[in-house]
Chains A and B, each alone.
Chain A
Amino acid sequence: MMSDRIKSDFPQLKTGHSYLDSAAMSLKPSRVIDTIDDYYRRLSVNVHRGLYDASVEATRMYEASRDIIATFINASREETVYTRGTTDSLNMIALALSEKFVGPGDEIITSELEHHSSFLPWQAIAMKKGATLRFVPLNEAGRISVENFRKVLCERTKIVALTYVSNVMGYVTPIEKITKLAHEVGAIVIVDAAQAVPHFSVDVKKIDADFLAFSGHKMLGPTGIGILYGKKKWLDMLEPVEYGGDMNEEVGKEISTWKEPPYRYEAGTMPVAEAIGLGEAVKYLEDYGMDNIARREKEVLASAISRMRKIDGVEIYNPGTDTGIIAFNLKNVPSHDAVSFYAENGVDIRAGHHCAQLVTKWLGIPSCLRASFYLYSDESDAIRLAEVTEKAVEYFQSLGF
């Protein structure tokens, strides 16, 4: 079976658990682990600085990885900045943009579907600069619609910071149309693509977003590495956010100058092994094919949703989810009670607010369970999730919940 072959690429799955928390962190295939291991064993030296063989080789690998990632999202290498993850990317760009483009009375469009790392930087900037946050009203299902986006978009809109895929609801935002409308009023669009890039083909040119952020650890890559994509015109114009080694061109007592993008935004020693590992992760994804990944996830999701819907005592918050994320609760059972039952039965899911408290508040719940699938998930995981759910409902009812 095809799925068995994939599962065997991920040594973490040897525990026999159903790992259904990929929206938080994906597992890593042996190929990625070996690549990182190889860099550390064979080279372990810095990039861009050394003129000896090992450093030249490390630099080649680091930059080759950038090319792979840039091509993967249809960007150029100059537009592809290594960061420490989506949170870092989003904070960095919020800071850089707020200096130049946000003032009193300006408006920033965000939504209740945002992960805290997309929302909090702009909340802080709005408070500091006297700008106003506008929330796209979510429709009945909890989605961001183009129609509702129009309701908050106006001439005062300077920034649009929205998620591409909600990490709780799994909904895909119609980001292409939103970007087009935002550009009509001259707003800058920042897309949190942490839950998008790992799961389907993302083309930054097609979306036409000004900035787009994602993380390595959600797409088979290591922790501590991510990407900030920025249109060249912006990256050329903006000031660096962090200053330090390697990002400068000429340092003087009065004035210093910066390297061209992307290097201007990569201060200090970057996570070299992680960057190289991310390149290998992207190669793995490409070998499998993003369309195949999306299709496979949809199949597993459809199976899981239809099984879960049949179980009395389960409340699903996103039955129409577009990607492999199911948000649910067992009726009358706090999510942290429920999650222990899943853990005891070898099903690793998440409980809590998923770093998206505005979503759980919108749903009117303190927290929920979340099961999320990835390319190594298959029908057996969907079946197991449903079976354990059924048992859990029974168990907690017997306790008197």
Chain B
Amino acid sequence: MTRLDNLYREVIMEHYKNPRNKGLVGGEGFTVTHIKNPSCGDDITVETKVENGIVKACHHEGTGCSICCASASVMTEIMTGKKLEEAKNVADNYLKMIHNEPFDESVDFEEAEAFSGVRQFPARTKCASIAWQAFQNTVKKE
């Protein structure tokens, strides 16, 4: 497997072609964050609704490369239904993992594990990060 094959894993391509939770609903209870990576044109908006300490809904909308769009899709799927504290913990550790920093290896990244190939491409770590950072922003005040 080449480094590129390791980057473009099937899971990623599948989410890129069939994104989940795409499209913003808006309305009461949603917190919205928009993040843009001006150097490459990745442009992602994430909205999250938290009720009784549970991530009730998480949607994304935007444009960008496959890594960026797929990571937004995977992220929303993973976060939906999670307890807020657990969701925050997964996001924190996922971002550490992507940036090659020490992280809690007991955390289950589920399908987001597929993005670990990005670590070999420092120029692309931002692509795999911005949807997750946007999520972090939406639940910062919760």
Report if A and B associate in a common complex: yes
The reply to whether the CB of A343 lies closer than 8 angstroms to some CB of chain B is: yes
Contact A336-B13, Cβ < 8 Å, known A366-B63, A399-B8: no
Is the beta-carbon distance between A336 and B41 smaller than 8 angstroms? yes
Partner of A336, one of B3, B4, B17, B124: B124
CB distance from B8 to the nearest CB of A (A): 5
The reply to whether the CB of B52 lies closer than 8 angstroms to some CB of chain A is: no
Is the beta-carbon distance between B41 and A337 smaller than 8 angstroms? no
Interface size on A, residues (CB 8 A): 17
Is the beta-carbon distance between A337 and B40 smaller than 8 angstroms? no
CB distance from B30 to the nearest CB of A (A): 25
The reply to whether the CB of A301 lies closer than 8 angstroms to some CB of chain B is: no
The reply to whether the CB of A400 lies closer than 8 angstroms to some CB of chain B is: yes
Is the beta-carbon distance between A340 and B66 smaller than 8 angstroms? no
Q: Which of A335, A336, A341, A366 has the most CB of B within 10 A?
A: A336
The reply to whether the CB of A163 lies closer than 8 angstroms to some CB of chain B is: no
A319-356 CB contact bits vs B (8 Å, 1 = yes)?
00000000000000011110011011000000111000
Q: Which residues of A contact B4 (CB under 8 A)?
A: 340-341, 344, 395
The reply to whether the CB of B77 lies closer than 8 angstroms to some CB of chain A is: no
The reply to whether the CB of A401 lies closer than 8 angstroms to some CB of chain B is: yes
Q: Which residues of A contact B121 (CB under 8 A)?
A: 340
Is the beta-carbon distance between A336 and B8 smaller than 8 angstroms? no
Is the beta-carbon distance between A334 and B3 smaller than 8 angstroms? no
B121-135 CB contact bits vs A (8 Å, 1 = yes)?
101100100000000
The reply to whether the CB of A367 lies closer than 8 angstroms to some CB of chain B is: yes
The reply to whether the CB of B39 lies closer than 8 angstroms to some CB of chain A is: yes
Q: Which of B17, B63, B65, B123 has the most CB of A within 10 A?
A: B65
Is the beta-carbon distance between B13 and A353 smaller than 8 angstroms? no
The reply to whether the CB of B67 lies closer than 8 angstroms to some CB of chain A is: yes
Is the beta-carbon distance between B124 and A352 smaller than 8 angstroms? no
Q: Which residues of A contact B8 (CB under 8 A)?
A: 337, 399
Is the beta-carbon distance between A353 and B41 smaller than 8 angstroms? yes
Is the beta-carbon distance between A367 and B123 smaller than 8 angstroms? no
Is the beta-carbon distance between B63 and A337 smaller than 8 angstroms? no
Is the beta-carbon distance between B17 and A400 smaller than 8 angstroms? yes
Q: Which residues of A contact B3 (CB under 8 A)?
A: 344
**In whole angstroms, what is the CA distance A337 to B3 when docked?**
13
CB distance from B37 to the nearest CB of A (A): 9
Is the beta-carbon distance between B41 and A340 smaller than 8 angstroms? no
The reply to whether the CB of B75 lies closer than 8 angstroms to some CB of chain A is: no
Contact A340-B40, Cβ < 8 Å, known A334-B65, A395-B4: no
**In whole angstroms, what is the CA distance A86 to B3 when docked?**
38
The reply to whether the CB of B42 lies closer than 8 angstroms to some CB of chain A is: yes
Partner of B66, one of A337, A343, A353, A366: A337
CB distance from B12 to the nearest CB of A (A): 9
Is the beta-carbon distance between B64 and A340 smaller than 8 angstroms? no
**In whole angstroms, what is the CA distance A340 to B39 when docked?**
15
**In whole angstroms, what is the CA distance A26 to B65 when docked?**
27
CB distance from B128 to the nearest CB of A (A): 11
Q: Which residues of A contact B65 (CB under 8 A)?
A: 334-337
The reply to whether the CB of B106 lies closer than 8 angstroms to some CB of chain A is: no
**In whole angstroms, what is the CA distance A78 to B107 when docked?**
66
**In whole angstroms, what is the CA distance A366 to B42 when docked?**
9
Q: Which residues of A contact B97 (CB under 8 A)?
A: none
6 sampled A-B residue pairs with Cβ under 8 A: A336-B41, A336-B68, A340-B7, A344-B2, A351-B40, A352-B39
- A335-B40, A336-B124 known, 5 other contacts, Cβ within 8 Å: A336-B64, A337-B65, A337-B67, A340-B7, A353-B41
Residues on A facing B (Cβ under 8 Å): 334-337, 340-341, 343-344, 351-353, 366-367, 395, 399-401
Residues on B facing A (Cβ under 8 Å): 2-4, 7-8, 13, 17, 39-43, 63-68, 121, 123-124, 127
Top 8 A-B residue pairs of the complex, sorted by shortest distance between their CB atoms: A336-B65, A334-B65, A367-B41, A366-B41, A336-B40, A337-B65, A337-B66, A352-B40
